[in-house]
């Protein structure tokens, strides 16, 4: 405990003794925390960052009334590992959740447990993706694994497994409001984790958004037709290209029968199965409404497919992708609006910290890609908007390199609970107050899940404001360096360019220092690989 915290704690014990009603009064002053996170929500699809693709007025409100972080990033750009980093405040190699496959080690200390011990009520609704249930929660309803978009199953703390009829995003919002309104003890501070499955693959919008989004045309990114020259083998070998790796049925929503009729082979052996898994979950009424809109899209494709060039097919797939992906975000944005309105109407807005973020960034056609995993910008960076009216001035922008590693210590700091000394992040509370001196000037990154879906090679690296140094390893030994100011799209690896030899030297030193600081090392890499190859991987 810091001296100030010991003093405050000591004083409250002195003043209030052991009389719990008065102690509770002290506790109610502690801020509530609502952690809103969506799965795979790219910052390019939040209008507070750019309105090039879509409008998200409710999510934007958080930044208008609070702070927009323009350089927030993750430590390992993939779902369950990111969530483990968020809950433990430790890099993947220490919390043990390096990839999506093995279940989370529930002996790890997490910030919700510490808040619960300190008298916070805790609840979680939506996607966790850990392979087991969360500890430290008074109430939870979580999706098994990736969860479904329609008529989802939930694992619940008190009612066993349940299946609910409806659209998952709306159901998660309803559960959240219900808990806020009817289930929590209104005299105590709370931590609420509101975790959307959307906009994760296979991108199924809510019925009310089918029409608007499927009729829109979206601007293409400059690097949609990237041929991956100028970089090493990792970008070339990744299987995330819209034209060649996106599923025809599962992702682009071409009916499996139409694929057969047109002679289009499955992109992978679960292309049609992914369609059956998601679209097949709809009840007859939902399916009829879906067919009404997606049927004509299939009809049009049937007519045009044979005459389409490769370029046109890529463009068509990009549009289909954006229509569905952005369509799912419309419901997320509405859900965020519903929660914000509830707080306003119930006098909770002032003393509640609201965080909106994603488990990582996502490619929306940049480099011709979908998915994430890389340290390259669109997947390394993640959206972050924070509102805390008592502390943060409205409409402020922060440019520091904050990471998902920082949430645990931030929330503990805000709640005046001491963080364990082995947590590795930095509290963002000083940044909320506008104090940026001494904050990290370089972020460390390490991605492990390879060989696996999308085939993004293992790599680690360091990112500073100006540069990005990356080492791809395991089945290759390749270094890349990007000049972030001159090459904003990260198209040219300048690692071997003599003009950068000094920079390379300095960054290597800085990277070594960071690996030491965070206790990551080549040795740990090889131990990990050894374990990885000797275990049977359960499916995710
Ligand atoms: C599934 C997806 C992949 C995705 C991983 C991880 N395929 O395998 O595209 O990269 O999840 O996503 S799917 O067609 O089965 O959805 S993560 O968000 O959980 O990390
Ligand atoms: Ca994700």
Residue 511's alpha-carbon distances to 83, 326, 374, 479, 525, in angstroms, are 24, 37, 17, 12, 15
Q: What's the pLDDT score for residue 5?
A: 43
Distance 387 CA to ligand 2 centre (A): 23
Distance 21 CA to ligand 1 centre (A): 48
Task: Determine the residue of 453, 454, 456, 540 to mutate for testing ligand 1's pocket, defined as the one with the most ligand atoms within 8 A of the Cβ atom.
Answer: 453
Give the model confidence (pLDDT) of 444-461 as tens digits. Answer: 999 999 999 999 999 999
Our answer on whether the CB atom of 250 is closer than 6 Å to any ligand 1 atom is: yes
Our answer on whether the CB atom of 361 is closer than 6 Å to any ligand 1 atom is: no
Quote the distance between the C-alpha of residue 135 and its chain's center. Answer: 20
In a domain, 417, yes or no: yes
Our answer on whether the CB atom of 268 is closer than 6 Å to any ligand 1 atom is: no
In a domain, 6, yes or no: no
Distance 198 CA to ligand 2 centre (A): 9
Locate the DSSP E strands across 433-472: 442-447, 459-464, 467-472
Mean pLDDT, range 414-419, rounded to an integer: 98
Our answer on whether the CB atom of 128 is closer than 6 Å to any ligand 1 atom is: no
Q: Yes or no: say if 501 and 486 are a contact pair by the CB < 8 Å rule.
A: no
Give the domain CATH number at 89. 3.40.720.10
Distance 469 CA to ligand 2 centre (A): 24
Q: How far is Cα 84 from Cα 473, in angstroms, rounded to an integer?
A: 23
Give the model confidence (pLDDT) of 368-405 as tens digits. Answer: 999 999 999 999 999 999 999 999 999 999 999 999 99
Our answer on whether the CB atom of 79 is closer than 6 Å to any ligand 1 atom is: yes
Consecutive H or E run containing 117: helix 111-117
Our answer on whether the CB atom of 143 is closer than 6 Å to any ligand 1 atom is: no
Same domain? For 336 and 301 the reply is no
Q: How far is Cα 458 from Cα 234, in angstroms, rounded to an integer?
A: 9
Query: What is the 8-class DSSP label of residue 9?
Result: H
Q: What's the pLDDT score for residue 29?
A: 85
Which of 402, 417, 437 is the endpoint of a domain? 437
Our answer on whether the CB atom of 232 is closer than 6 Å to any ligand 1 atom is: no
What is the pTM assigned to this prediction? 0.93
Atom of ligand 1 nearest to the CA of 79: 20
Our answer on whether the CB atom of 453 is closer than 6 Å to any ligand 1 atom is: yes
Give the model confidence (pLDDT) of 219-244 as tens digits. Answer: 999 999 999 999 999 999 999 999 99
Looking at the CA of 382, which ligand is closest? 2
In a domain, 539, yes or no: no
**What's the whole-number average pLDDT of the chain?**
93
Same domain? For 512 and 479 the reply is yes
Same domain? For 43 and 190 the reply is yes
Residue 371's alpha-carbon distances to 201, 361, 412, in angstroms, are 9, 9, 32
Same domain? For 63 and 147 the reply is yes
Atom of ligand 1 nearest to the CA of 78: 20
User: How many domains does the structure of the chain reveal?
Assistant: 3
For the chain, give the number of residues.
Answer: 540
Distance 254 CA to ligand 1 centre (A): 19
| Structural domain range at position 367 | 32-203+326-437
Same domain? For 98 and 141 the reply is yes
Mean pLDDT, range 91-105, rounded to an integer: 94
- Tell me the torsion sign for CA atoms 156, 158, 159, 160: positive
Our answer on whether the CB atom of 249 is closer than 6 Å to any ligand 1 atom is: no
Banded pLDDT at 16 (limits 50, 70, 90): very low
Which of 276, 297, 322 is the endpoint of a domain? 322
Looking at the CA of 361, which ligand is closest? 2
Distance 78 CA to ligand 2 centre (A): 6
Q: What's the pLDDT score for residue 15?
A: 39
Q: Residues with Cβ < 8 Å from 459, sequence gap 6 or more?
A: 234, 374, 375, 445, 446, 447, 470, 471, 472, 473
Same domain? For 386 and 469 the reply is no
Same domain? For 302 and 334 the reply is no
Same domain? For 467 and 429 the reply is no
Same domain? For 254 and 176 the reply is no
Q: What's the pLDDT score for residue 474?
A: 92
Mean pLDDT, range 342-370, rounded to an integer: 98
Quote the distance between the C-alpha of residue 507 and its chain's center. Answer: 28
Q: What's the pLDDT score for residue 531?
A: 56
Residue 190's alpha-carbon distances to 7, 61, 118, 155, in angstroms, are 24, 22, 11, 21
In a domain, 350, yes or no: yes
Q: What's the pLDDT score for residue 537?
A: 47
Same domain? For 517 and 433 the reply is no
In a domain, 14, yes or no: no
Same domain? For 137 and 259 the reply is no
Q: How far is Cα 422 from Cα 439, in angstroms, rounded to an integer?
A: 18
Q: How far is Cα 171 from Cα 173, in angstroms, rounded to an integer?
A: 5
In a domain, 217, yes or no: no
Our answer on whether the CB atom of 78 is closer than 6 Å to any ligand 1 atom is: yes
Our answer on whether the CB atom of 271 is closer than 6 Å to any ligand 1 atom is: no
Same domain? For 193 and 102 the reply is yes
In this predicted structure, which of 123-137, 257-271, 426-440, 517-531 has the lowest mean pLDDT?
517-531
Banded pLDDT at 526 (limits 50, 70, 90): low
In a domain, 92, yes or no: yes
Which of 437, 469, 490 is the endpoint of a domain? 437
Q: What's the pLDDT score for residue 524?
A: 56
In a domain, 19, yes or no: no
């Amino acid at each position: 405990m810091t001296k100030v915290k010991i003093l405050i704690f000591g004083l409250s014990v002195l003043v209030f003794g052991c009389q719990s009603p008065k102690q509770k009064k002290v506790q109610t002053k502690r801020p509530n925390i609502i952690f809103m996170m969506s799965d795979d929500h790219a910052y390019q699809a939040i209008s507070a960052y750019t309105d090039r693709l879509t409008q998200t007025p409710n999510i934007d409100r958080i930044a208008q009334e609070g702070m927009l972080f323009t350089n927030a990033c993750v430590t390992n750009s993939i779902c369950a590992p990111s969530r483990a980093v968020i809950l433990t405040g430790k890099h993947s190699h220490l919390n043990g959740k390096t990839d999506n496959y093995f279940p989370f080690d529930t002996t790890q200390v997490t910030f919700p447990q510490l808040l619960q011990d300190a008298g916070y009520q805790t609840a979680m609704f939506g996607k966790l993706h850990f392979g087991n249930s969360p500890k430290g929660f008074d109430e939870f309803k979580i999706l098994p694994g990736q969860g479904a978009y329609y008529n989802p199953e939930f694992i619940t703390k008190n009612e066993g497994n349940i299946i609910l009829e409806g659209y998952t995003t709306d159901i998660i919002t309803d559960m959240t409001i219900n808990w806020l309104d009817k289930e929590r003890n209104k005299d105590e501070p709370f931590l609420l984790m509101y975790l959307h499955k959307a906009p994760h693959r296979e991108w199924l919008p809510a019925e009310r958004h089918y029409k608007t989004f499927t009729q829109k045309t979206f601007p293409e990114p400059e690097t949609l037709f990237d041929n991956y020259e100028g970089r090493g083998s990792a970008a070339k070998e990744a299987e995330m290209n819209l034209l060649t790796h996106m599923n025809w049925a599962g992702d682009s929503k071409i009916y499996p029968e139409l694929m057969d009729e047109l002679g289009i082979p499955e992109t992978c052996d679960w292309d049609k199965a992914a369609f059956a898994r998601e679209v097949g979950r709809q009840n007859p009424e939902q399916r009829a409404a879906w067919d009404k809109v997606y049927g004509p899209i299939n009809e049009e494709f049937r007519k045009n497919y044979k005459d389409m060039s490769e370029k046109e097919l890529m463009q068509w797939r990009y549009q289909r992708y954006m229509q569905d992906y952005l369509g799912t975000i419309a419901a997320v944005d509405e859900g965020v609006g519903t929660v914000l309105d509830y707080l306003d109407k119930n006098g909770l807005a002032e003393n509640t910290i609201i965080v909106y973020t994603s488990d990582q960034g996502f490619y929306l056609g940049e480099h011709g890609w979908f998915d994430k995993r890389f340290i390259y910008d669109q997947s390394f960076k993640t959206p972050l908007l924070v509102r805390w009216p008592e502390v943060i001035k409205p409409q402020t922008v922060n440019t520091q390199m904050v990471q998902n590693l920082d949430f645990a210590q931030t929330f503990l700091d805000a709640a005046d609970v001491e963080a364990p000394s082995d947590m590795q992040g930095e509290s963002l509370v000083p940044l909320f107050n506008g104090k940026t001196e001494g904050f990290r000037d370089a972020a460390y990154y390490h991605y492990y899940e390879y060989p696996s879906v999308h085939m993004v090679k293992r790599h680690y690296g360091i990112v500073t404001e100006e540069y990005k140094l990356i080492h791809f390893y395991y089945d290759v030994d390749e270094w890349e360096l990007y000049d972030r100011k001159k090459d904003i799209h990260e198209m040219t690896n300048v690692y071997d360019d003599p003009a950068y030899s000094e920079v390379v030297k300095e960054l290597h030193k800085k990277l070594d220092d960071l690996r030491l600081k965070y206790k990551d090392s080549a040795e740990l890499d090889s131990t990990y690989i050894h374990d990885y190859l000797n275990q049977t991987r359960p499916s995710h």
